[in-house]
Amino acid sequence: MFMGKLLAQAGMMSGHHVTWMPSYGAEVRGGTAYSMTKISDREIASPIVTNPDILVVMNKPSLLKYEKKLKKGGILISNRSLIGAPPKRRNAITVDIPMTDMASKLGNTRCANMIAIGAMLKKSKMLSMKNVISALKFMLSGKEDLFLINKKALEKGYSAV
């Protein structure tokens, strides 16, 4: 959920129109919970995303459930550490990196989501790294240790692509 909220915050701070809608299912960590984030230069009529341009999946259940929704030619970012084999999607741009393993090397597997965001930023160029780091600093205000490790994870994800 933090990934979508961070992107929405960065989008707002960049002057874009944004919506963010979380969906808390019975599963939270390790399940198929998701959020929908829209970032646009124009007003957004609905927060619902049916066929996303970009899909970030952190585990195999999420890949199996949401991969088919990604629009043709979209960007699929996947976590090889928890999914295993790369996605077989042929009509999408895929980025498959071992996010959880990379986060573990940084000392905190919970920052795997920031590695995903870094990779997504590099591949999509939808927002600047500078603006996302500013949003991260704003959202983690007063939590310097969390900000620093998450910033490092963002940078690792960006350079992994």
pLDDT digits (tens, 9 = 90+) for 89-112: 889 999 999 999 999 999 999 999
Task: State pLDDT tens for residues 46-88.
Answer: 999 999 999 999 999 899 999 999 999 999 999 999 998 888 8
59 found inside a domain: yes
Residue 9 lies in a domain: no
26 inside domain: no
Q: What is the CATH number of the domain that holds 115?
A: 3.40.920.10
Per-residue pLDDT band for 34 (boundaries 50, 70, 90) equals confident
- Residue 24 within any structural domain of the chain: no
> What integer pLDDT is reported at residue 33 of this predicted model?
73
Number of structural domains (the chain) is 1
| Residue 94, SS3 per DSSP | strand
For 74-110, letters b (16+ CB in 10 Å) and e give bbbbbbbbbbeeebebeebebbbbbbbebbeebebee
Asked if residue 103 lies in contact with residue 141, where contact means CB atoms within 8 angstroms, the answer is: no
Average pLDDT (11-36) is 80
DSSP 3-state assignment of 29? Answer: coil
Across 25-41, average pLDDT: 75
Residue 29 has pLDDT above 80, yes or no: no
> 112: helix, coil or strand?
helix
Residues 6+ apart with CB under 8 A from 54: 70, 74, 75, 76, 77, 120, 124, 126
**Whole-angstrom distance, CA of residue 44 vs CA of residue 38:** 8
**Is 41 part of a structural domain of the chain?**
no
Query: What is the per-residue pLDDT for 89?
Result: 83
Is 89 a domain residue?
Answer: yes
Burial of 119 (0-12, 13-18, 19+ CB in 10 A): buried
Task: Look up the domain containing 65 and give its range.
Answer: 47-159
Cα gap 145→136, rounded to integer Å: 12
Let me know if residue 32 belongs to a domain: no
Q: Look at residue 79 and tell me if it is in a domain.
A: yes
- pLDDT score of 30: 52
Q: 40 in helix, strand or coil? A: strand
